[in-house]
């Protein structure tokens, strides 16, 4: 077993330490070089270090390097600026690029860095390049937080009290243009994926229960209020009493849908997600998986093939309710409580 004294020692330091020990024991330098498989001149340097710096000089010496241009205070100040977002600093959007960060450093601290060194600074500060989550400027973060913490528990209680099945409802679309994961091409040559402006599209409306049951309908055209009513009518025939939770899409607020819901108000209740907060709806995570994982690189040759592929992809995950529940956990409303 390795002793605690040797823990954290680099391999080259261990070799040098053994060399120091052999030199102290009077072993000839040529024999040390052969035994430790090092150059003879290295043993001469070890002997000089042993003589001038002592028996503990076998460890690597820290190289001072160039002093940092930014002080600790300036680096902390830079972190605060970056966390507030690029828009708060005067840029048109919240995208931080290396060039923009270099401008901030020059403007705030009068220090000129090229973009390569800015990358090193950001890395040292614990930042990394990441794909941002796009959010609408119109979002009311305060209301969204209130809805998750206060309104959502009330919705659960209302559904349970009224004996209603809570359904998350949403619509989405699928194009014949593939959600490309990877494609094969010669090394060093980035491939081009040509596509036609004439795209085929499928629209899907689906509902998800708290128990991970999935209901859906697929259409080869855009969904209107008529399709929403038809879908809700199908749900009403399967489920005795329903509470719908959906967003503020125009088709959900259309006159025809409102009139339909009023006529069957004894059967349906409706609640709405906060505006501009799609991440709250568990449906988003289910269909994102279908499009980006189940149908990644899917290249249908016809509308029929596209429709069949979509139905098969949905059928695959419907056979895995526990997997659907794990996807649902992506929504902040659950926080691991499913």
Tell me the whole-structure pTM to 2 decimals.
0.63
CATH number of 10-53: 1.10.10
For the cut 50, the answer to whether the pLDDT of residue 3 exceeds it is no
Comparison of pLDDT for 45 and 176, the residue scoring more = 45
Distance CA 326, CA 338 (A): 9
Distance CA 150, CA 56 (A): 64
CB 306 within 8 A of CB 314: no
Distance CA 179, CA 227 (A): 26
Show me where the domains of the chain are located.
10-53, 72-124, 141-178+199-328
For the cut 80, the answer to whether the pLDDT of residue 236 exceeds it is yes
Q: State pLDDT tens for residues 119-176.
A: 889 988 888 877 666 666 678 889 999 999 999 999 999 999 999 999 999 999 888 7
Q: State pLDDT tens for residues 114-133.
A: 888 898 899 888 888 776 66
CB 247 within 8 A of CB 272: yes
For the cut 90, the answer to whether the pLDDT of residue 108 exceeds it is yes
> In the sheet that 201-209 helps form, which strands lie side by side, from edge to edge?
214-219, 201-209, 165-175, 242-246, 268-272
CATH number of 141-178+199-328: 3.30.420.10
On the 0-12 / 13-18 / 19+ scale of CB atoms within 10 A, 311 is middle
Task: Give the per-residue pLDDT at 56.
Answer: 85
Of the candidates 334, 302, 298, the one whose C-alpha atom is nearest the C-alpha of residue 314 is: 298
Per DSSP, 137 falls in state T
Compute the CA torsion angle 49, 52, 54, 60 (nearest 10 deg): -40
């Amino acid at each position: 077993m390795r002793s605690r004294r040797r823990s954290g020692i680099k391999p080259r330091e261990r070799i040098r330490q053994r060399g120091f020990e052999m030199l102290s024991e009077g072993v000839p330098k040529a024999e040390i070089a052969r035994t430790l498989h090092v150059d003879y001149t290295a043993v001469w340097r070890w002997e000089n270090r042993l003589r001038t710096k002592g028996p503990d000089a076998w460890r690597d010496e820290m190289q001072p390097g160039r002093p940092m241009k930014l002080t600790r205070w300036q680096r902390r100040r830079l972190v605060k600026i970056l966390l507030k977002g690029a828009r708060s600093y005067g840029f048109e959007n919240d995208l931080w690029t290396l060039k923009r960060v270099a401008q901030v450093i020059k403007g705030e601290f009068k220090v000129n860095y090229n973009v390569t060194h800015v990358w090193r600074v950001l890395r040292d500060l614990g930042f990394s390049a990441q794909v941002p989550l796009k959010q609408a400027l119109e979002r009311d973060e305060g209301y969204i937080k209130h809805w998750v913490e206060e309104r959502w528990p009330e919705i659960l209680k209302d559904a349970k009290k009224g004996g209603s099945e809570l359904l998350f409802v949403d619509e989405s679309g699928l194009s014949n243009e593939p959600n490309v994961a990877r494609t094969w091409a010669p090394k060093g040559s980035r491939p081009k994926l040509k596509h036609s402006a004439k795209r085929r599209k499928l629209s899907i409306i689906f509902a998800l229960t708290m128990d991970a049951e999935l209901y859906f309908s697929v259409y080869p055209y855009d969904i209107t209020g008529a399709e929403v009513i038809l879908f809700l009518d199908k749900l009403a025939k399967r489920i005795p009493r329903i509470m719908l939770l959906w967003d503020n899409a125009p088709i959900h607020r259309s006159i025809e849908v409102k009139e339909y819901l009023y006529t069957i108000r004894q059967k349906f209740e409706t609640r709405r997600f906060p505006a501009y907060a799609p991440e709250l709806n568990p449906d988003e995570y289910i269909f994102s998986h279908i499009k980006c994982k189940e149908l990644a690189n899917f290249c249908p040759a016809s509308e029929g093939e596209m429709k069949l592929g979509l139905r098969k992809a949905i059928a695959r995950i419907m056979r895995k309710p526990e997997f659907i529940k794990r996807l649902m956990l992506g929504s902040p409303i659950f926080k691991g409580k499913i």
